Structure 1
């Protein structure tokens, strides 16, 4: 305990300068960092101070951003920018919008259905439920940059068993869909509305990550919107259903757990994925090949925005693609004195030089869009 609050030594461009328990953590830039002498790191990590704030009050990230208390927010969800409250907030403030298409595999996201729920315990019933949710149809109109993934591990198309979407004997009038990331709410709201048109009531329930993880472990869920931070390998898919896994464990799916225990991870991962898709236990969500952010005009990006594998435009620390922006203190003071726009509106600047070829998401070259 004597060393718990001592600062760790680091070779990076920033060092931990201040901790305000429960409020914020501050990092400051080293003036004589060795990496500044290397071509790869030259002219990067330009910000003098980086402050991470705890979200410990009732205000949302968007509210803090529109007040200027947050300098940038990253929301890859394309639909998020189209919600009335967000469009109104951004059009009133002196902020910029930017989208960078990348050449990266998308981390999977999708709907997990618990087969232990009585009204959707067999494949025919889950196929019926998937049809009511209409996820594939939503993806086709959700955004020109989004299309439906084929599974957890890879993007090669597969043909799941085709079961007729006939209504089950006992219709579930209400079903709970749990999620953890508020950025997914616009998409999940569309799923809810689509189901409502088919007389199925979806109750959206946002849970803290820890609570949702525990419910997954115990198999105490109906529907869960699963969202991962990175693409999965066969081994990591297998670990999701291994009871002795140190990471996320998904309970309630006995056959997947049996596969994970009795097969080599390299084979089990693909078998598990095929089983989840064919049995309509996992419904793939959107595949997305861009990152998107809003930022105040006192932050500046270089002419070459981001890199081929950038995942966050305003990551201050990433050795691969971080630090590619800078701030202007005087501009910040001037903008905060008059934060509102006069006559213009926020526009979305699009950079697609790294974009992967995708016939489902074709768009013109670099352009500025409303």
Structure 2
């Protein structure tokens, strides 16, 4: 049921070779370039070089789905075919960007593929697909519980031939990057509408529009995620033409729901790779360190931890693959229970796996000498990003009860 196509298997082999030849050997170089950069939120020389190599080797825009095959040199990949590729990329936190498969750009490109006008696609989608620019998705706000997207307060009003935006956003991934050129901004255009899901509109706002102010980079557990970054952004009387609307006035919530479901799965796919790599490093560590006269690998508690982590990763991977298969064969709407189950289970499971792998590495596991501390941070914030666990659990529980309540 979860068998990948021959084409996807070939891409996976080529991607693994690229990782072996160009990504893993450059992890230290990447870290050193970032530490020594005069400006942390600019494209590093190594990243620019690797992106060109990925293009030349045909490992570019792998995320593009089959229904938008015209935007991919591979004809588009199903969720089931893309999942193992995203897992491989997830083994190194910055690797997805090398292949133009990083958040939030992938989600934003899919929004533009699905909802943008031809003129909007030409102006913003084409350069994103070419890797010439980056983008941001501005939804979360600091002053309201954004876990309920209908709470957002950024005001969108019409003023002649323009939209006027006023409000504050935060944890806007990608906004700090020097190459970020466009924001997709969600706000309220009809706050008094009787249907609270028709109050929102999404607007394309160029980053250099007067009134757009980057307040500060934000951190998670001390990580600023440079050079992509998460920013707090203020929109003060930001004026853009009416044609910058996406899909139509009042359809912002519809766009958000369409965008976030695939993005949640992409995060889960990458997290499987992060957890798998942490497990592999833990096994290597267990054979290299000795305590109380024997290798760590000979201790029963270590073997029990390793066995549990192996089983948990296999379970998480199978859940993700089943969800991908369901999306491919039944569509997103019919797969919402599985998407919610993946979103609430995989990040937490991988977080706990990485935590145990850190423990096996002792104090070193907490440092940047290994990949695990940053991967732990990623797993932890994925439990809040794209909607916190509790919201998805509430929705999933409701759906499961409704499914079985008749007996």
TM-score by length of 1: 0.25
Larger % of helix: which? 2
Please tell me whether Structure 1 or Structure 2 has the larger radius of gyration of its CA atoms: 1
Structure (1 or 2) with the greater strand fraction: 1
**Structure ranking higher on relative contact order (CA contacts 8 Å, 6+ apart):** 1
